[in-house]
A and B are shown apart, each in its own frame.
Chain A
Amino acid sequence: VKAPASLRVRLLAAGVLWGCGALAAGSAVAAILVRRHLGGDLAGSPPTPRGSIDRWFLAHATLTIWTLGSAAAGLLAFGLSAMRGSVAALDRLRARMVPLRSGLATRLTGEYPTEIQPLVDDLNVLLAARDEAVTRAREEAGTLAHALKTPLSAIANEVSAAHGAPGGKAAGEAWHVVIGEQVRRMQGTVGVHLARARAAAGGRVGARADVRSTLTALRRALARLHPDREISVAGDGNGASPAFRGDRQDLEEMLGNLLDNACEWSTSRVQVSAILTGDRLLLDVDDDGPGLDSAARRQVLAHGTRLGADAPGAGLGLAIVRDVAALYGGGLTLAASPLGGLRARLDLPAAARGPST
């Protein structure tokens, strides 16, 4: 069963076996008919002189019929199993496609009949090429952002310096407001579209991100950036870690923005919890800060895309999280947190349980 023979050989064998089986079956039926014919004669009328062949046949008829019959059954059964063996390879291929789609595997594995193997190899080459293209697109988006952000920063600094300079305010009121506003818009656009490009490129086949290890890395960074905040993970350490069906960098981006935002607004505590319900992954980020009332919550999400000059990063960060989650068919909702502040809930597709790590 394991040996992936050639499909042609298997089908040929099945054909030959079935041919022989059919021949044997036909012969058995013929033997039955002949015996009935001869036997009928034997039973109905007085014995008539017969040829020696008839007598020999009648003497051996039962054995002959049984031998031919069982040979026919055996040959047909072997032929069927040879046939099924070749179809099983196709079934196996289909079964291996499932983890590929649900994010558990990145390549097709296993040995296949020589006619199918090249197809599988081609598919794997295609998957590899796609991964590579995604990586390259990402790098180029990063390079583009780097190239644009630095000069934009320089312009923004120059404008704000001119704004602060004596006389600059009265003389240049109009131009510095216009340039400042346009630069801010360009910066916002670069940020949002870079995140979208990253996420759109992230629809990679078989992508899967482990929630626990992503959180570990983020907490390490956030401990440095917000040394006076305590970030705890609820339900840590029991059972297999849930996983997100998508790119790890996108998960890092969404969770990082939410955690950073929570740290920014919290008094001292931030808590993350991951809940797996069916094929959905719910990630809650809670803080013990002042929170937002329901009107403000709606407003933050509705106007999130606009860069608020007085709320650096916050509005934009949530907008990016919302957009990336939406690209994965998920969403971001805000609610009141049991800790007293804001609860941001990410609803994302979960990856099927993988090999326990």
Chain B
Amino acid sequence: MRILVVEDEPVLSDQVSASLRFAGYAVDVARDGPQAYALGDVNAYDAVILDLGLPGMDGLTVLGRWRRAGRAMPVLILTARDSWHDKVEGIDAGADDYLAKPFRMEELLARVRAIVRRAAGRATPELVCGPVCLDTRSGRVSCAGLPVALTAHEHRLLAYLMHHADRVVSRSELVEHIYAEEADRDSNTVEVFVSRLRRKLGAAIITTVRGTGYRLECPS
């Protein structure tokens, strides 16, 4: 799960991105409008946290341009402008949720989890696939009721697969969603993570679809 944080205030931006990283997300940061637009236009994010008062290009303009270009990732507006007039304007521009400053970090994390889940068409915060259970609130993973310890990358990869359990996910898509912009990418490492997950959760849980990618197997 990969997230773009757009916030021009450096301290707040650091706090938000640190909390998101701590919660297991890969995080990219943009400090102004044009940079935010460019990042969101080329990368596949699972969610965007967008401030409205940005240097260079206003947040609503950035959002409007993404939507017109067909970028459909869930966007949470995080702003000091908390009037309902602004909220209506933000939602009309294509935002999925609206959180006003001051906010509590737990609230922000809960909202991000909710919009990611909603965008993937999942209704409950607990994602279940066969014996494997991922609680998106705590980030805990269990297999047949027993807790399983995962590294950050394994966790992101599993979370992405569980949010999209109904389809085949390509290797490049996984790379896009588990690494932040500045990280060293190597699509071969995806294979390494998948094999480690198989070892921890059972070999049958992830099947390789030859030439296409991976699919989570959820016996119902």
Residues of A within 8 A of B (CB): 142, 145-154, 156-158, 160-161, 183, 187, 191, 198, 217-218, 220-221, 224-225, 227, 248-249, 252-253, 255-257, 312
Residue in B15, B85, B98, B102 whose beta carbon sits within 8 Å of that of A149 in the complex: B102
Complex partner residue of B95 from A191, A224, A253, CB under 8 angstroms = A224
| Residues in B lying within 8 Å of A, measured CB to CB | 9, 11-12, 15, 53, 79-85, 87-88, 90-92, 95-98, 101-105, 107, 118
CA distance A332 to B95 in the complex (A): 31
- Cα–Cα, bound, A158→B14 (Å): 11
Q: Residues of A contacting B11 with CB < 8 Å? A: 151, 154, 158
Whether A151 contacts B88 in the complex (CB less than 8 A), given A160-B104, A225-B98, A252-B83, comes out as no
Question: Contact between A221 and B118 (Cβ–Cβ < 8 Å)?
Answer: no
Would you call A152 and B102 a contact (CB within 8 A)? yes
For B105, what are the chain A residues with a Cβ–Cβ distance below 8 Å?
157, 160-161
Chain A to chain B: the 8 pairs with minimum beta-carbon distance, closest first: A256-B84, A149-B80, A146-B80, A221-B91, A149-B101, A154-B11, A252-B84, A153-B101
Q: Within the assembled complex, what's the spacing in Å between the Cα atoms of A27 and B91? A: 83
Please give, as numbers and ranges, the residues of chain A lying within 8 Å of B12 by CB-CB distance: 150, 153-154, 157
Contact residue among A150, A157, A227, A252 (Cβ-Cβ distance under 8 Å from B80): A150
- The reply to whether A220 and B83 contact each other, CB–CB distance below 8 Å, is no
CB <8 Å contact, B98 and A142: no
Contact of B84 among A148, A157, A160, A218 (CB under 8 A): A218
- Pair B87/A256 contact, Cβ less than 8 Å: yes
A191 to B83, CA, bound (A): 10
Question: B118 touches which one: A161, A220, A227 (CB < 8 A)?
Answer: A227
Query: Which residues of chain A are within 8 angstroms of B92 by Cβ–Cβ distance?
Result: 217, 220-221
Kindly list chain A residues whose C-beta atoms are within 8 Å of the C-beta of B83. 142, 198, 249, 252-253
| A146-B53 in contact (CB<8A) | yes
Residues of B contacting A255 in the complex (Cβ-Cβ under 8 angstroms): 84
Contact B102 A252 (CB under 8 A): no
Partner of B107, one of A145, A183, A257, A312: A312
Please measure, in the bound complex, the distance between the C-alpha atom of A67 and the C-alpha atom of B90, giving whole angstroms.
80
Task: Report the Cα distance A158→B15, complex, angstroms.
Answer: 8
Which residue of chain A lies nearest to B90 when distances are taken between CB atoms in the complex? A221
Known contacts A154-B9, A154-B12; decide if A224 and B85 are in contact (CB<8 Å).
no
Contacts known (A146-B80, A160-B105, A257-B84); A220 close to B91, Cβ less than 8 A: yes
Complex: chain A residue closest to B96, CB-CB: A224
Chain A: CB-nearest residue to B15? A157
Residues of B within 8 A of A161 (CB): 15, 105
Query: Measured between alpha carbons, how far is A146 from B80 in the docked complex, in Å?
Result: 5
Does A221 lie within 8 Å of B9, measured CB to CB?
no
State A221–B83 Cα separation when bound (angstroms). 12
Distance, CA A146 to CA B83, complexed state (A): 11
Q: List 25 A-B contacts (CB under 8 A).
A: A142-B81, A147-B80, A150-B9, A150-B12, A150-B101, A152-B101, A153-B102, A156-B102, A157-B15, A158-B11, A158-B15, A183-B102, A187-B102, A220-B91, A221-B84, A221-B87, A221-B92, A221-B98, A224-B96, A225-B91, A249-B85, A252-B84, A252-B88, A255-B84, A256-B84
Residue from B9, B80, B84, B87 within 8 A of A145 (CB atoms): B80
> Chain B residues with Cβ under 8 A from A191's Cβ?
82
- Chain A residue nearest in CB terms to B14: A154
Residue of B nearest to A145 (CB): B80
Known contacts A151-B11, A160-B105; 18 additional CB pairs below 8 A are: A146-B53, A146-B79, A150-B12, A153-B101, A154-B11, A187-B102, A217-B88, A220-B91, A221-B88, A221-B91, A221-B98, A224-B96, A249-B83, A252-B84, A252-B88, A253-B84, A255-B84, A256-B88
**Which residues from chain A contact B96 at a C-beta distance below 8 Å?**
224
Q: Which chain B residues border A152 with CB–CB below 8 Å?
A: 101-102
> Closest CB of chain B to A25's CB: distance in Å?
68
A151 to B101, CA, bound (A): 10
B residues less than 8 Å from A145 (CB atoms): 80-82
**A256 surroundings in chain B (CB, below 8 A):** 84, 87-88
> How long is the Cα–Cα vector from A293 to B52 in the complex, in angstroms?
40
Determine the residue in chain A with the shortest Cβ distance to B53. Answer: A146
Bound Cα distance A154, B51 (Å): 14
Shortest beta-carbon distance from A246 to chain B in Å? 14
**Complex CA distance for A227 and B97, rounded to whole angstroms:** 10
B97/A224 in contact, CB under 8 A: yes
